[in-house]
Structures are given as structure tokens and as C-alpha cells.
Amino acid sequence: MTIKKQLLTALILMASFAAFAQTNMKNYKAGHAFQVSIPDYMTKTTGINEAATFQFDNTVKDIGGFIIVDTKDELELVQLKFTSAQEFYESFIKDFLIKEKNRTIASPQLKSVDGYSYVETDASFYSKESKMEIYYYIGIVETKNAFYKLLCYGGIDSKEKFKADFQKILYSIKD
């Protein structure tokens, strides 16, 4: 093969590769990063809730919690579009502990702080399995990009002892 033919072949190959390189690309973000603060007596853990993004507990104090993140983009992919943190909360709470006979849910408290919308409430039920009343602190945070669902739990005596710390966890969530 002559040098001219080799150069021509090389130019044709380069031009065909350049044509592929001309394809427009669209960027996507994978995963969702956020910040949360938990009390130093809690430790990060796993195995509490498989849908949770972040889980924590203290086995000695018999309390724990987890955060489930629903990005607005992911919700829209399954044709769910919530207009507010309250609407997201209402969609969740209607089925929460629904099978428990002694289920109680307090009236939700709504707040807006630094551009984030919050909903928080208390829930409880009597667990036949544990033979005790279980307490849940439930918090919802709406940011520009996501809804965060915080559930903290323990025995009913946890409400008085740890609710203030559970609230600090909720209001520390930022993205």
C-alpha cells in the first residue's frame, strides 16, 4: 500500500471516529447526597429498613431511626407529583401502621425554615409481639430536589426522653 493510500485510509478512519464523537451527550447525576446530624450516642447501622438511605440506632437505649429519600425526579418517573410536604406526608401516613389496632397518630405540625418545608408528628401502637407500646417520631422534609422521610422509634417512654433529639435530626437534614 502506498503512503497516499495509507494516509487516505487513516483520514477516513479518523473522520468516522470524529462523527461518533459529535454525538450530543446529556449529563445525569447518580445517587443523591445529603447531610444529617445524629446524636453522638447513636451509631450508623444497617438492617433496620431496606428502603432506607441512612439508618442509626442505640441498642442499649433501645431506640433507632432511619431516613428514606424520595427525589422529585424519581417520583415523577412513577407519575407521582406532590405539591407540598403536607401532601407527601398525607400520602404516607394514611397507610402507616394501618393494620395495628391501637394505632394513634397526633395532628401534624407544619413549619417552614430556610426554604425547607417540614411536617412532624407522633405515632404509637401497642405491639403484641414486644408486649409494649411503641412510639414513632415521624418527620418529613421537602427540599428543592427531594422529600425526606425520617422515622425514629423506641418504647413509649422514648417520647419524653428523646423527642427533642429526634427533632434535631429532622431539622439537620440538608441537601
Rounded mean pLDDT for each run of 10 residues along the chain, 175 residues in total: 57 55 66 89 95 96 97 94 97 94 94 96 94 96 97 96 97 94
Position 6 in a domain: no
Position 25 in a domain: no
Numbers of helices and strands, H then E, in the chain: 4, 8
CB 154, CB 63: distance < 8 Å: yes
Q: DSSP assignment, residue 160?
A: H
Position 126 in a domain: yes
Of the candidates 139, 170, 161, the one whose C-alpha atom is nearest the C-alpha of residue 62 is 161
Domain span including residue 118: 37-172
Q: Which value, in Å, is the radius of gyration of the alpha carbons in the chain?
A: 25
pTM: 0.82
Which pLDDT score, from 0 to 100, does residue 103 have? Answer: 94
Position 96 in a domain: yes
Position 28 in a domain: no
Which pLDDT score, from 0 to 100, does residue 23 have? Answer: 72
Count of domains for the chain: 1
Residue in the block written with cell 422515622: 151
Position 17 in a domain: no
Which pLDDT score, from 0 to 100, does residue 25 have? Answer: 72
Position 14 in a domain: no
Position 19 in a domain: no
What would the grid cell of residue 10 be?
Answer: 487513516
Q: Give the CATH number, domain containing residue 145.
A: 3.40.1000.10
